[in-house]
Copies of this chain bind each other. A is one copy, B any other.
């Protein structure tokens, strides 16, 4: 007999991970965010640097502006028309822990022998910044296995259909 996982009793429909990945969960979207974090803010710069196809980039920038992760700021080079560059909003800046956590994992498992191409630096002291986990009691969580999921305040019952 199988023991049903407890999580099956609760709906995944309002999962905030799922909602976040609806915005970010596509390779190019997060690559756009990475470029802007790196200071590459203009359409043609992002396109050339990242290799994102023009139409895809246009769509992703539109989504990120619509979702208030990026904002469009006008600029004008001499003799040129007004163009826009893209900057992080506060909501966008708050993606930094996600970006660093992704980079930490990628650096550990997917980097070239030379090491990662980009590092995150603490502006105040110059040391490299990493992602970590801490609990509300102030304990650093050293091992991922020390984290377990539990039902949160917004959990909704999962209605299993007869057909499964």
Q: A-side interface residues toward B, CB under 8 Å?
A: 1-2, 4-8, 10-12, 14-22, 24-31, 34-35, 37-42, 44-45, 48-51, 75, 77-78, 91, 93-112, 114-125, 127-137, 139, 141, 144-156, 158, 160-161, 164
Contact = CB atoms under 8 A, between A and B. Distances in A.
A148 B127 CA distance: 11
A5 B112 contact: no
Contact of A100 (B114, B123, B147): B147
Main secondary structure of the interface of A (DSSP, over half): mixed
B156 A117 contact: yes
Given A16-B103, A164-B48, A135 B129 contact: yes
Nearest to A78: B1
B133 A130 contact: yes
Say how many copies of this protein the assembly contains. Answer: 2
Given A39-B5, A144-B93, A100 B133 contact: yes
A128 B137 CA distance: 8
A17 B30 CA distance: 8
A66 to B, nearest CB: 13
A154 B123 contact: no
Given A38-B7, A97-B144, A124 B139 contact: yes
A148 B133 contact: no
Contact of A17 (B21, B45, B102, B119): B102
